Amino acid sequence: MRIGDYDVYAPLMLGEPANAIEMFGAVALLWMQSAEQRSAYVGELETQVLPFLTTEQYILVYHQARPIFYLSFALFNAQTELRYLTLDYAGYGDDGRALPLCNGNRFWILDWLAPLGHSREMAALMQREVLLNHCCRALYHKGDRLGPQVLRFRGRGVSRQQAAQWWQKYPLVRDLPERGFTL
């Protein structure tokens, strides 16, 4: 779907199918440009990216025919959320993403990859367009310095009151500090 200057592929969110092979290649390219993922083995893409492509739980954004952003997400139930937060804080076990990715209503962003400097632009795009009516959480991945923390997000279409109700309906299953702000 064309949104402003961007081509946005988000099959589960926007309802438009995408070519999984093309999406896989685009994510691999972004991984190779990311300082954090660059040293990963190509085989890790199979366990950490492919499950999201097959379940269509991703958002991939292109600008001028070039991939610039990748986001993967899961919809956990309380039990799966606890497993995710109890594994090492990044949620990766020895067997990759062995957690069920779509078994509840607890919306988690698992990967946010903008290696070319488009993170702020993509946050605004997610808030305004793609995740407009959603509340979600993400694990803060600099927890090795600050300890594990959870970030809370809400799309622009969600009022503060609606977000508060969502956080109350789906409280964290593990006691971790949470920081909230608008996506």
- Exposed / middle / buried, residue 159 (Cβ in 10 Å: 0-12, 13-18, 19+): exposed
Residue 167 to residue 43: CA distance in whole angstroms: 36
Q: Is the pLDDT of residue 35 over 80?
A: no
Q: Is the pLDDT of residue 27 over 90?
A: yes
pLDDT of residue 94: 46
Residue 60 to residue 69: CA distance in whole angstroms: 6
User: Worst-scoring range by mean pLDDT, 33-37, 146-150, 160-164?
Assistant: 33-37
pLDDT tens-digit series, residues 44-87: 888 889 899 999 999 999 999 999 999 999 999 999 999 998 87
- Which residue has 């961007």 as its token pair? 6
Q: Is the pLDDT of residue 182 over 60?
A: no
Residue 123 to residue 59: CA distance in whole angstroms: 12
pLDDT of residue 143: 62
- Which residue has 């969600």 as its token pair? 158
Locate the DSSP E strands across the chain.
2-3, 6-9, 58-63, 66-76, 106-113, 135-139, 150-154, 178-180
pLDDT tens-digit series, residues 84-138: 988 754 445 444 456 888 899 999 999 999 999 999 999 999 999 999 999 999 9
Domains and CATH numbers, the chain: 2-180 (3.40.630)
pLDDT of residue 183: 46
Residue 137 to residue 110: CA distance in whole angstroms: 9
